[in-house]
Amino acid sequence: MRRPSAQTLRAVFNTRYAIAGLVFVCMLAVSPVSASADDPPVLDTFTATHFYGDWWLFEGTFQDESPKKCVIEFGGLLDGESTKGDYDGTFVFLFNMSSLPYGIVSAQVKDAANQTSNVLEDFVDP
C-alpha cells in the first residue's frame, strides 16, 4: 500500500475542517434564539383593532422563555384589565368599549419572575 503524499494529506485535512466549519455555521444559522431565564420579556407588537359594534380586539406578540406563564397588563382606557400569554408568545383580548371615550390603551408583559417588558400603546376611538 502506498503512503499518501503530504499534498493529499493536506487536501483531506483542509476538506474535513472546511466541512466541519460549514456544519457548525449551518447549526448556528438554524438554532432558535430564545430568551434567557434572566431576561425580562420583550413586547414586540401591540395593536388595537375595531372588531364589531363596540367590540375592540387587542393583540400582540412578545418574547419570553416561558410565554404561557406571562400576563399582559393593560393601561390607559383599559387600566386594570389583563390577559394571559399563549405558548407561542401571542395574546388576544376582546373588550366592549361602549362606555369608554377615545384615548390610549397600553400593554406591558409581566413574566413569572415579575419582570416587566417595555410598554407599547395604541389609539382607540370607539
**Do 107 and 82 meet the contact criterion of CB atoms below 8 Å apart?**
no
Segment 86-93 shows an average pLDDT of 98
* 9 compared with 65, residue with greater pLDDT: 65
Q: What is the pLDDT of residue 126?
A: 75
How does DSSP assign 8-76, residue by residue?
A: HHHHHHHHHHHHHHHHHHHHHHHSPP---TTSPPEEEEEEEEEEETTEEEEEEEEE-SSGGG-EEEEEE
Residue position matching grid coordinates 476538506: 15
In whole angstroms, give the CA distance from residue 48 to residue 104: 10
**pLDDT of 124 higher than 60:** yes
Reference 43, options 65, 72, 66, 69; nearest CA is 72
- 29-84: pLDDT as tens digits: 444 455 566 899 999 999 999 999 999 999 999 999 999 999 999 999 999 999 99
Report pTM. Answer: 0.70
Share of the chain above pLDDT 70, in %: 71
Give the chain's length. 126
